[in-house]
Amino acid sequence: AQTVTQSQPEMSVQEAETVTLSCTYDTSESDYYLFWYKQPPSRQMILVIRQEAYKQQNATENRFSVNFQKAAKSFSLKISDSQLGDAAMYFCAYRSSDGTASKLTFGTGTRLQVTL
């Protein structure tokens, strides 16, 4: 079974600075997908960024980018130019490429605080 580990329960960043959230995972599969979801106090689950394991190029979405290290099974999220609206819980998630096993497996989350 796959597992996802987020070792940072809480992180803090100053506005306009850069922060990196860590995520590691364990799997025996070679093809899979990785995601970062954001959950603000409203509890909505918002997809931030997605990475296909077969792609070596790291995904980017505006101020959000990932550092995907397949051999190390590491998938960190970098938020540049942090804004107050970035304050939220961030969840890393794994999904098999097998269509019958397409559930998301989530980490326990990292709470990000953004300070002035």
Partner 1 sequence: NAGVMQNPRHLVRRRGQEARLRCSPMKGHSHVYWYRQLPEEGLKFMVYLQKENIIDESGMPKERFSAEFPKEGPSILRIQQVVRGDSAAYFCASSTGGQGGQPQHFGDGTRLSIL
Residues at the contact surface with partner 1, assessed by CB under 8 A: 31-33, 35, 37, 42-47, 50, 52, 91, 95-109
Q: Which is nearer to partner 1, 10 or 17 (CB)?
A: 10
Q: Which is nearer to partner 1, 6 or 82 (CB)?
A: 6
Half-sphere CA count of 116, side-chain side, radius 13 A: 0
Q: In the complex, what is the shortest distance from the CB of residue 16 to partner 1, in angstroms, rounded to a whole number?
A: 29
* Residues ≥6 apart with Cβ < 8 Å to 31: 53, 54, 97
Q: Which is nearer to partner 1, 45 or 84 (CB)?
A: 45
CA dihedral over 114, 68, 49, 92, signed as positive or negative: negative
Q: In the complex, what is the shortest distance from the CB of residue 51 to partner 1, in angstroms, rounded to a whole number?
A: 10
Q: What is the rounded distance in angstroms from the CA atom of residue 104 to the CA atom of residue 70?
A: 18
